[in-house]
Amino acid sequence: MPTNEQRRATAKRKLERQLERRAQQEKRRQLFVVIGGVVAIVVAAALVATFVLTNKDDKTTASASSSVPSSASTDPNGPIAPPPPTGGLPAFKPGANLGANCQYPASPEPASKKVDPPHSGKVPTTPPTVSASMSTNQGNLGLVLDNAKAPCTVNSFASLAQKGFFDNTPCHRLTTSPSLAVLQCGDPTGNGTGGPGYQFANEYPTDQYPPNDPGLQQPVVYPRGTLAMANAGPGTNGSQFFLVYKDSQLPPNYTAFGTIDATGLATLDKIAAAGVAGGDQDGKPATGVQVKSILLD
């Protein structure tokens, strides 16, 4: 049997092993606490960094969207300059009187080419679209006229096309600025002052704003592929129209009455690539553009 001395020695070794295990457990516990603290700090730092970067991006976006160049664009019949960046055309909401009473009174200027005005009064808004083919010496352009949004305008354009008003007339103006990229046609004189001898009121998008609304003075984006009327002020639409080949910024005072198909845009891109005569950003196309005919499909 073990003696008392041996039992004390065994108990001492057992106690020492217990103390050693406890010491090791305490070290591991402290290590886990340190690691946990480090992880918590890293996670917190990541969250802070994410918050800061997100807010920085938000501020950058807000700053970019609110930046305004120093000059503004004017209409297709005047000088051009970069306008402030803005939104696109407003959503269309048909009014109760859409197409109910289309009027085409005589304009102060006589007709550049003899033609009778279109029928006045009520104009149907159906079919919603009308297809047309515009043939030029530079290529063809397929057009889709938006009868549902601008029936009075489509009624006039279709009437002029059917009566041959556009046949053998030049596209007298090309603009190539960053903010206004259009080809303008529809003037038999080729000098930008001609018309059919009558005039009519604006439609979409002008009619989406109350009269004298400040929004009518703020530029919007007429997207690439838009077919729109040129004018010299409210209610002075005639025969001149412009074709948008790049997003362009103008006040919403020009009736958008159709779109241009992919073939037509390719033709416009080719015309625009040749530039403006004399190297300017606004003037006669360097490559002459002659409308042969516009036919309704």
What burial letters (b/e) apply to 262-285, b meaning 16+ CB within 10 Å?
A: eebbebbeebbeebbeeeebbbbb
* DSSP 8-state symbol, 190: S
Q: Measured between alpha carbons, how far is 267 from 248 in angstroms, rounded to an integer?
A: 18
Residue 5 has pLDDT above 70, yes or no: no
- The answer to whether residue 17 scores a pLDDT higher than 90 is no
Answer with the residue of higher pLDDT: 77 or 264: 264
The reported pLDDT for the residue numbered 47 is 31
Task: Give the pLDDT confidence score for residue 15 in this predicted structure.
Answer: 54
CA-only gyration radius of the chain, Å: 36
Question: Which has the closest alpha carbon to 123: 161, 155, 163?
Answer: 155
pLDDT at 18: 57
Range with lowest mean pLDDT among 55-64, 101-110, 160-169, 197-206: 55-64
**What are 172-217's pLDDT values in tens digits?**
999 999 999 999 999 999 999 999 999 999 999 999 999 999 999 9
pLDDT (mean) for 66-82? 38
Gap between the Cα atoms of 30 and 33, Å rounded: 5
Q: In sequence order, what DSSP letters do the residues of 93-122 get, joined into one string?
A: ---TTTTTSB--PBPSSPPSS--PPPP-B-
Residues 6 or more apart whose CB falls under 8 angstroms from that of 282 comprise 79, 80, 173, 174, 175, 176, 177, 276
In this structure, the chain runs to a length of 297
Q: What is the model's pLDDT at position 3?
A: 63
The set of residues, in sequence order, having a beta carbon less than 8 Å from that of 221 and lying 6+ positions away, is 86, 87, 88, 89, 247, 248, 249
What's residue 210's pLDDT? 94
Is the separation of the CB atoms in 89 and 216 below 8 Å? no
pLDDT at position 8:
56
Q: Calculate mean pLDDT across residues 99-118.
A: 97
User: What pLDDT, in 10s, does the model give residues 123-150?
Assistant: 999 999 999 999 999 999 999 999 999 9
At residue 85, does pLDDT exceed 80?
no
Report the pLDDT value the prediction gives residue 87, as an integer from 0 to 100. Answer: 76
- Residue 9 banded pLDDT, cuts 50, 70, 90: low
Which residue is it, tokens 């690691």?
35
Residue 241 in this model has a pLDDT that exceeds 60: yes
pLDDT of residue 4: 54
The model's pLDDT over 21-57, given as tens digits with 9 standing for 90+, comes to 555 554 444 433 333 333 333 333 333 332 223 233 3
The structure's pTM equals: 0.73
DSSP label at residue 147: T
Q: Respond yes or no on whether the N-terminal peptide bond of residue 188 is cis (omega within 30° of 0).
A: no
pLDDT of residue 221: 97
Tokens of 104: 């085409």
Q: Please answer whether residues 180 and 286 qualify as being in contact, where contact means their C-beta atoms are separated by less than 8 angstroms.
A: no
How many CA within 13 A on the CB side of residue 248?
29
Q: What is the pLDDT of residue 248?
A: 97
Residue labelled with tokens 């309704």? 296
**Cα–Cα distance, 212 to 27 (Å, whole number):** 80
Contact 271, 287 (CB under 8 A): yes
d(CA 84, CA 66): 9
The overall average pLDDT reported for the chain is 81
